Amino acid sequence: MIQKRQLPVLEMSCAVCAGNVEKKVKSVAGVRSADVNFASSTLAVEYDADKVTLSHIKQEVQSIGYDIVIDEDPTGDMAEAMEHKHYMALRRRVITAWVLSVPVMVLSMAFMHQKWSWWLQLGLALCVILFCGRPFFIHALKQIRERAAGMDTLVSLSVSIAFLYSLFNMLFPQFWLDRGFTPHLYYEAAVMVIAFVSLGKLLEERAKRSTGSAIKSLMGLQPLTARLVEADGEREVAVASLSVGDRISVRPGEKIAVDGVVVSGSSFVDESIISGEPVPVDKSCGDKVLAGTINGRGAFVMEAGAVGGDTLLARIVETVRQAQGSKAPVQRIVDRVSAIFVPVVVAISVVAFLLWLFVGGNLSLAVTTAATVLVIACPCALGLATPTALMAGMGRGAQNHILIKDAFALENLCRIDCVVLDKTGTLTEGHPVVTDMLWYGDNADKALLRGIEALSEHPLAPAVGDKIASEHIEATPPDSFESITGQGVEASFRGIGYRVGNASFAARTPLPDDKAAEFVTRRQESGNSVIYYSTSDRLIALMAVSDPLKANSAEAVRTLRRQGVEVHMLTGDSPSAARAIAAEAGIEHVRAGMLPQDKDDYISALQAKGHKVAMVGDGINDSQALSRADVSIAMGQGTDVAMDVAMVTLMTSDLSKLPMAIRLSRKCVGIIRQNLFWAFIYNVIAIPVAAGALYPSLGLALDPMWAGGAMVFSSVSVVLNSLRLKQVRL
């Protein structure tokens, strides 16, 4: 049985570590795929549960110095607790490292020639290395045993070189004096490297937690407890213990615990956190309610229909979590660079040592440059450049009701120069309404029409029925009823035949006057559908039905055009209705009477001209065109299954979210490029400087201690740059 899981990974210190974990998990028999995201510290694994267990995968990961958290609790509390424990242990090591390292640094500067100072420095340095630096050495040894390497390897080598060289010089100074060299101690460099690198890891962890705050805020929408209705009364229980079919009491002002249906009572529910719609929705018996939404002043009892991971809120959280863990195409290149990064850095360190020892004749400089190169090289910045920006960007999108399915969609969305819009439900409300009526009959005719439309399945029938119901006229059911596909309906009442439908079907007599002719002409020119209601010898009524443009559609189209995006509208509606809506929305490129295959061909033609096309539809009826587009975007209102179909889902019905999504994508990709540029430039400049490139001309040699500080700055700056996405205006 094939299963997919996303598991927290502990003890990773750089992108190389992520690559090591990924490679190890992929090598396990029964694992079909594995992706490790360094920024979110998660492993997405697909495996055959009949061939391998998560416990076995955990053992394999532990064998190379890392760990994964197997949390069967759907709330994720266990994983959260273990990650917090790991964070607090790191925090203790950082505090201890700085408390002990600062005195070592002071002693090395103020009492460098005092032997008692040397022994005190040695004691303090051993404490820092054995307690604060122990994880670096343990991980490095396990990695070397598995023929892998990472940032822990670089730190361990550099600290070992500085410490052992200092220890030898302290115990056997005469060895170097006899050969014309002055022995130096570098205990402060060894301990400050551990202090700086540990501090950098702590800052990274805090910043990475901030990039993932959108997930935590979404998860916080669901309450922890609910009131279960039982035969003998109500009892408060944990939401995790609820089952499908349970009845739950919801009081005024409370959050709804699970998805379900109202079985008694009524209220208004604020669904803005899910759908983005600001107006509370009236809920009564039979209406669906969603987990995480907020009840108004009323009270009701609901029956649970979806619990745990099956609720819409849980699906949204999982969609965002998986999207944040996905890898952009550019990240694959970075991963390949990171895989060879450590061996290359070690080689440069060895070359620098040999060069300054045999060519420069300076043993002290040779040791210093070798250690400095190992410390200053930063695979962290490379590894964090892309995923931190993706996490922050996708989290910001989710907070604005924009669900982006994966990194590929986010990266492609910024390249879009052409948007194809479906009309009904995308540009328009998707709910036809009767805008005008011209009556020649009486209220009895209206009552009968309401009764006829109640039996009709035509999409326009509810609009007519609602219009008559608004006049408080009760329905009169017909004696017989028949639906004529593509034309209308035919009914009889007390021996008289009635027809409701289009002109060719229901206009059985000439229009009675000029007023009726003008009504038909003007409404058709405005793009409205005209419904005829007649008997065999008289016209009873004319009704104009339209699907009105959404309030923000025209502004959304203008914003898209300002962004340099060409807007097209495709619809299966009539040419007159299409032209009217397009004119109102400000769209120049319009095609009417389009079948699914026609929409597919239209998008293909645009792509053949070199356009990058986004298709916006409902995710089901437009599935063929959506699959053809470079980016598929579904318009939803929180319950649409299009969330599972399209690359991007706009959870609200507001089309203005579309230009927001494009702007978010452009900002996110821009920050990724900035991060990668500075990460590469940092290493390209820093490593040669650390190797002593400036020493011959300027006499400058970088100390390992300051190299550690520079390395910390590079990785933290990348994360902080990504966090700017949380404040960018959309």
Rounded CA separation 649/643 (Å): 6
Rounded CA separation 161/143 (Å): 19
Read off the DSSP letter of residue 256. P
Rounded CA separation 631/565 (Å): 14
The two three-digit tokens of residue 630, written as one number: 């470079």
- 225-230 and 648-650 beta bridge pairing: unpaired
**Segment holding 398, helix H or strand E:** helix 379-399
Is 445 one of the catalytic residues? Answer: no
* Surface-to-core class of residue 224, CB atoms within 10 Å of its CB (0-12 exposed, 13-18 middle, 19+ buried): exposed
The two three-digit tokens of residue 514, written as one number: 């000029």
Rounded CA separation 502/590 (Å): 24
Identify whether the C-beta of residue 313 lies closer than 8 Å to the C-beta of residue 222.
Answer: yes
Identify whether the C-beta of residue 313 lies closer than 8 Å to the C-beta of residue 218.
Answer: yes
Rounded CA separation 345/376 (Å): 10
Rounded CA separation 39/15 (Å): 9
Nearest CA to 375 out of 344, 346, 339, 355 is that of 346
Residue reference for tokens 């040669």: 688
The two three-digit tokens of residue 668, written as one number: 């996110």
Residue reference for tokens 């424990």: 85
- For the beta carbon of residue 599, count every other beta carbon within 10 angstroms: 25
Identify whether the C-beta of residue 275 lies closer than 8 Å to the C-beta of residue 316.
Answer: no
Altogether, the residues listed in the chain come to a count of: 730
As a three-state string, the secondary structure of 168-183 is: HHHHCHHHHHCCCCCC
Question: Catalytic residue among 422, 600, 640, 654, which?
Answer: 422
User: Phi, psi at residue 174, to the nearest 5°?
Assistant: -65, -30
The two three-digit tokens of residue 351, written as one number: 């070359």
* Surface-to-core class of residue 89, CB atoms within 10 Å of its CB (0-12 exposed, 13-18 middle, 19+ buried): exposed
Positions annotated as catalytic residues are 422
